[in-house]
Amino acid sequence: MKILVVGGGGREHALAWKLRNDSSRPDVFCAPGNAGTTAIAANLDIGAEDLDGLAAWAGGNRPDLIVVGPEAPLCAGLADRLEEDGLRVFGPSKAAAQIEGSKVFSKQVMEAAGVPTGRARVVTDTREALDYLRKVGPPVVVKAEGLAAGKGVYICASMADAEQAIREIMVKKVFGAAGSRALIEEFLRGEEASILALIDGRTVVMLASSQDHKRVFDNDQGPNTGGMGAYSPAPVVTDDMWPAIREQVFERTLAELRRRGIVYKGVLYAGLMIAGKVPNVLEFNCRFGDPETQAILPRIASDLLPALLSCVDGTLREDMVRWRKDACVSVVMASGGYPGAYAKGLPIEGLDAAGRMEGVLVFHAGTKLDARGQAVTSGGRVLNVTATGSNLDAAIRRAYLAIAPIRFDQAQYRTDIGAKARRHYAVPDTA
């Protein structure tokens, strides 16, 4: 069996790792992959957004399943194009991927479906935006309307912050065409959590809870990033909340999409803000979260491949995904300067030492092999140092112990990934 994983980040390394370890032992290909995936898969010199190149390779090689990692090719219609050629693709259609590709579409779907979410206003020019901001006042959340690699969200505590966000999105166009419109949303208080669900068009199988850390610095300081780390499970999501999340978030959304003639297949990511027992949806994503996937997949005890194939075929069942009791923590090691400008091509040392540690996985994100076969940095988020443990404290400690031997110039990482969990319960600090 041949599997193609589209993408080259930490999420795709984690997916390739999990699929390669399936009991059927499939051959895995990554397009383009990274320095880490070379050990478990065949890397292809095809970019994740090169739809022509991907279609040509897939048409000639006929993989049994294509798993699309990033949002951009899904929003560009990669799944539709491959399916037209008779290929099996795990990932939503272009129409369904609008749930992430257009924040306006997503908000309209939520409002029509009765999904709990914050109030929002769509603005199309700076004057309209500033007039509305003066009307509602801070705090607010300002979002670029389109895809912005997870960075187009501004939490604005003051009017000056909000005005600056509008200028960056709509005047400076720092996110390009994604800033043609903006969304000004109600600021919701609470604690964030991520819930991902496998979906075959109707059946919903929710995966374990997790919590991402978007801000670049400790204590949620600094600008938003694509994610600086994650842990699973997230204790803010209590057992009694799962039925409400299933019905109010996923089932209502899928029903509204079907009402619009859209059948959703793949994974649907719900970013939630939880206050008390009330889950409000902050955003939907049309793909596996990054870095949440890196914290979730090591906790899956069963094979993943049958569940992904069942999503394509419309035969998904709840019992296809079984869980380990272990907790998992994934800490992002990023390039100095990220999410701004950063250097590339810096040698990475200590990967073998970290990878030999018990309960540790090092997923590569922004890496490549240089001409000598040395792993070097090639992106803003470089590595996902991931560890499992009998509880969250044990997993946290292992992850940071594994970071210790890894070195590259100007490396940065947060030292508080998973700390929020301690507000909910205390666990013994044992491995």
What DSSP assignment string belongs to 256-280? HHHHTT---EEEEEEEEEEETTEEE
Domains of the chain from N-terminus onward: 2-91 (3.40.50.20), 125-180 (3.30.1490.20), 191-320 (3.30.470.20), 327-423 (3.90.600.10)
Q: What per-residue confidence (pLDDT) applies to 428?
A: 47
Query: What is the pTM assigned to this prediction?
Result: 0.93
Determine the residue type at 283. E
- CA–CA separation, 400 and 253 (whole Å): 38
pLDDT at 431: 40
Give the bridge partners for 347, in sequence order.
Answer: 376
The rounded distance, in Å, linking the Cα atoms of 333 and 110 is: 35
The closest of 34, 37, 39 to 376, measured between CA atoms, is 34
- Distance, CA of 7 to CA of 36 (rounded, Å): 13
Query: What pLDDT, on a 0 to 100 scale, did the predictor assign at position 150?
Result: 66
Are 26 and 19 contacting, i.e. CB atoms less than 8 angstroms apart?
A: yes
| Pairwise CA distance, residues 233 & 331, whole Å | 15
Joined together, the tokens standing for residue 127 give 């004057």
pLDDT at 115 (0 to 100)? 97
- Say which residue the tokens 């604005």 belong to: 156
Stated length of the chain: 431
For 4, half-sphere exposure in the C-beta direction (CA atoms, 13 angstrom radius) is 29
Alpha carbon distance 256, 284 (integer Å): 14
Q: How many CB atoms lie within 10 A of CB 176?
A: 11
Per DSSP, the three-state class of 216 is strand
* Residues of the chain falling short of pLDDT 50: 427-431
**Strand 204-206 relative to strand 191-200, pairing:** antiparallel
Cβ neighbours of residue 313 closer than 8 Å, sequence gap 6 or more: 88, 200
Sort strands 65-68 and 2-7 into parallel, antiparallel or unpaired.
parallel
Residue 306 to residue 394: CA distance in whole angstroms: 31
* pLDDT at residue 276, rounded to an integer: 84
Closest CA to 250 of 145, 113, 147: 113
What single string gives the DSSP state of each residue in 329-394?
EEEEEE-TTTTS------B-B-HHHHHTSTTEEEEESSEEE-TTS-EEE-SSEEEEEEEEESSHHH
Q: Would you say 283 and 272 are in contact if contact means Cβ atoms under 8 Å apart?
A: no
